[in-house]
Structure 1
Amino acid sequence: MERHIQLTNGKKLRVFERGEGEHVVILVHGLTGNHKQMAYYQDSLASDHRVISYDLRGRGLSDETDRPTSIDHHVGDLLDLLMMLNLKEVTLVGYSIGGYICAKVTALSSRVRSLILLDGAGVADFGQKELILPSLQRLEKPYQSKADYIDFTKRAYEKLNINWSQQLEEIAQYETKAIDEKTVRHRSKVEVIEKDFDSFFEFNHEEVLPHITVPVLLVKATGYMGAGRPLFFNESFAELEKIVPRINVLMTNANHFSLVFERQKDVLNTINRFLTNVREDPSEV
């Protein structure tokens, strides 16, 4: 089921829902993505859980974001969404920027009973800009057709050793819109994405992390990207591992992009075991 949910601030989020389990899992996508970015996770979890994903504001079919935007604005939207859907106990799964959003919501809300971080919420470093900013090139320029945009995006991902797939094709189709009869563009604005990325560096780990007391699964993507490094180094998560008391860690050879753009069987299996343990005896996780 796909629909718009209007928040208390009058803005709308595009929400996608699958599954009918008693437990609710909410998936929050990455910086330049949309809800389709989390398709492999939605497919895996929907057999046993009610799974909700949505487009962050400024992405996909959700409304424009506030100006200036930041992680905190997206935190407010997710807190509002939990209230509007009357969700009492949820697991939050956050990828990349979604990790920061979900971590802060977990610290603020008693509605969250477990948290899964997919290579997100680490301490940011400026070397990441060399990896992230080139991927924003596709947002800046106009294209003569969706086919042109898809070809440009395909070549960009292949440089990062990401195999083009049906999932990536669907994401590319969804994230573009016609400007006029001859031109299509990405739905997101570069300045919005850049501002959200800048707020990675403003995330106050010492303030947020002590308030995360629920079971946490942290997935570290150790695979290298274009600049010969992972997006987050192992030590980027040192504060998380030191401060959060109930944290479980999985290290995968996937890189930051292949973690969501390719099916990661071991990661999906670990997540399902983690959620089973949380459901059966959260005190032991």
Structure 2
Amino acid sequence: MSKFTTSDGIKLYYEVNGEGKPIVFIHGWSADHTSFKPHVEELSKDFKVITYDLRGHGASDRPDKGLTLNRFAIDLEELMEYLNLKDVTVVGWSMGSSIIFDYVRTFGVSRLSSVCIVDMTPKLINDDEWKLGLYHGRFTVDDTFKALTTMCNSWMDFAKPFIKEAIPYLSEEQLKPIYEATSTNSPHVMYSMWIAMSANDYRDVLENITVPTFIIYGEKSTLYSSETARYLNSNIPNSEIVAFENCTHFLVLENPQKLVEIVKEAASR
């Protein structure tokens, strides 16, 4: 069980599998490194694959400090420095993509060779001028305050309907193990990172992602739209869109083999 200590004293759990060109997977909000288990098994045959638990998630420390996307970006840089990783392909799912955006804002792309953005928007909150955020343009600042109030009252009162919205085809029985896993999260981390996602706008960063980039989205995602993917594509140089047919926001788990193929292609750039 490997752990790395950040510059502010937080222990992050990480795993390294395989040898070769490095690929770093960054999981989403409320998830952990196990989201990428099937991908690691396949990709580690040809690459060095790094997965880790974000601070506040999984087996990493769950502190009361550093619960911002900027600190998560710093954690990523410090982990890559600790492991002496260069020429890295980074894959960010959902909030993992927000961490990539913040990483590029803070550190640039000199350590990166390619990027995969998986079903995410550069700006979560919609307004009169922006309709490419959460829930296909329907989620406003008022909605995020209501969501935060619910989370602060009872984390699972928010988590259960959110999960049902994100994976609408699962029955209540099928959702039970997902609910159980989600309930192990620390509520203060969850609402702190929801604030972090709600507060940030990364549209000004996109032009600085100059390495080859794959913009991946689920055609049946209830969270983000194909128009969001096209916006990213039009603003990130040297990028291309990859649609996952019959997949939702959970395309990482729904079609892992296709994601493996895309990551392999990204790592070859």
Do they fold alike, i.e. is TM over 0.5?
yes
Residue 51 of structure 1: aligned partner = 49
Change (3 A) 1:235 1:221: same
- Give the counterpart of 1:242 among 214, 234, 251: 234
Query: What is the CA distance between 1:121 and its match in structure 2?
Result: 4.0
Partners in 1 of 2:33 and 2:179 — Cα distance?
Answer: 12
Change (3 A) 1:65 1:76: farther
Query: What is the CA distance between 1:61 and its match in structure 2?
Result: 1.2
Query: What is the CA distance between 1:264 and its match in structure 2?
Result: 3.4
Please provide the CA RMSD for this pair. 3.4
- Give me the TM-score of the superposition, normalised by structure 1: 0.73
- Give me the TM-score of the superposition, normalised by structure 2: 0.77
Change (3 A) 1:216 1:33: same
After TM superposition, the structure 1 stretch with the greater mean CA deviation from structure 2, 28-37 or 240-249, is 240-249
Change (3 A) 1:47 1:163: farther
Q: How does 1:105-116 map to 2 (within 5 A)?
A: 105-107=103-105, 108-109=107-108, 110-116=110-116
Q: Is the 8 A contact 1:122 1:237 kept in 2?
A: no
After TM superposition, the structure 1 stretch with the greater mean CA deviation from structure 2, 38-47 or 108-117, is 38-47
Query: What is the CA distance between 1:16 and its match in structure 2?
Result: 1.4
Residue 3 of structure 1: aligned partner = 2
Q: Is the 8 A contact 2:167 2:249 kept in 1?
A: no
One-letter code aligned to 1:195: S
Partners in 2 of 1:248 and 1:111 — Cα distance?
Answer: 21
Partners in 2 of 1:104 and 1:50 — Cα distance?
Answer: 24
One-letter code aligned to 1:161: Y
Q: Is the 8 A contact 1:97 1:121 kept in 2?
A: no
After TM superposition, the structure 1 stretch with the greater mean CA deviation from structure 2, 110-119 or 63-72, is 63-72
Q: Is the 8 A contact 1:69 1:192 kept in 2?
A: yes
The 4+ residue runs of structure 1 with deviation greater than 4 A are: 133-137, 155-159
One-letter code aligned to 1:160: P
Residue 19 of structure 1: aligned partner = 18
Residue 209 of structure 2: aligned partner = 212
Query: For structure 2, which runs of at least 5 residues remain unmatched after alignment?
Result: 127-133
Q: Is the 8 A contact 2:23 2:89 kept in 1?
A: yes
Residue 275 of structure 1: aligned partner = 267
Q: Is the 8 A contact 1:217 1:247 kept in 2?
A: yes
Change (3 A) 1:163 1:39: farther
Query: What is the CA distance between 1:194 and its match in structure 2?
Result: 2.1
Partners in 2 of 1:40 and 1:157 — Cα distance?
Answer: 24
Q: Is the 8 A contact 1:34 1:59 kept in 2?
A: yes
Q: Is the 8 A contact 1:220 1:252 kept in 2?
A: yes
One-letter code aligned to 1:223: K
- Give the counterpart of 1:189 among 170, 186, 189: 186
Query: What is the CA distance between 1:269 and its match in structure 2?
Result: 2.0
Partners in 1 of 2:244 and 2:260 — Cα distance?
Answer: 11
Query: What is the CA distance between 1:53 and its match in structure 2?
Result: 0.5
Partners in 2 of 1:23 and 1:90 — Cα distance?
Answer: 7
The question of 1:256 aligning with 2:249 is answered yes
Query: What is the CA distance between 1:238 and its match in structure 2?
Result: 4.2
User: Partner of 1:17: helix, strand, or coil?
Assistant: strand
- Give CA deviations for 1:108-153 in whole Å, capped at 9, x if unaligned: 241111111111244324654689x69979x836xxxxxxxxxx99
How many residues are matched? 245
Q: How does 1:101-250 map to 2 (within 5 A)?
A: 101-107=99-105, 108-109=107-108, 110-125=110-125, 128=135, 140=155, 160-162=168-170, 186=184, 188-224=185-221, 230-250=222-242
- Give CA deviations for 1:198-238 in whole Å, capped at 9, x if unaligned: 322333323311221101011011214xxxxx211122234
